[in-house]
Amino acid sequence: MQTRHLSVHGAFEFTPKIFPDDRGLFVSPFQQAAFGEVTGRADIPVAQSNHSCSRRGVIRGVHYTATPPGTAKYVYCPRGRSLDIVVDIRVGSPTYGEWDAVVLDQIDFRSLYLPVGVGHAFVALEDETVMSYLLTSPYVAEYELSISALDPVLRLPVPPDLVPVQSDRDSAAMTLEQARQQGLLPDYEACLRVERALWSV
């Protein structure tokens, strides 16, 4: 498995080897050894798995979990094609305000690890795009927050030829600066403490 550090501190890309034959193919999107080699952690303490299916043009996010409790994610796209975006919204982070984007699809089966406290969004580039997530904490509605994927200051790489399709919650989300002014963004040091605690249990 090939690994790559993303430009957001603590986020990584994983590209597995694919084994095709006349029956189809076999692939392992998550591999403990590769994950541990780049993160220094033995495994992901999975509390919940999620699955979404989206039509072309759907933008989900930028979503994040209040920290604490915080959550880390491991995501991949088993069907279709998406532009997956990680945004550093952790106040005090060395890469605060920066983002990175990776195309996830059913050809290369790349996966992303998103550390505690970062924002996550994706744009479905094809109909019936499926995203699969492993989460380190269960979903609790009151902890789940959102900032605008169309924030003009962030300038996320939403393809200009797509007509954005968003939920009411996401289309009404505040900008990064508005969330910061209201004290709603995660603190970088608090995120690191939560993340360290995840792997000490």
CA distances, 22 to each of 19, 27, 29 (Å): 10, 15, 21
Yes or no: say if 61 and 30 are a contact pair by the CB < 8 Å rule: no
Cα 158 to its chain centre, rounded Å, is 15
Question: Which one of the listed residues 9, 96, 133, 143 is annotated catalytic?
Answer: 133
Longest dimension (CA), the chain: 56
Give Cα 186 to chain centroid, integer Å.
15
Q: Is 33 exposed, middle or buried (0-12, 13-18, 19+ CB in 10 A)?
A: exposed
Query: Which residue of the set 5, 9, 51, 63 is catalytic?
Result: 63
Nearest to 80 by CA among 132, 36, 13, 11: 132
133: annotated active-site residue: yes
Catalytic residue set: 63, 133
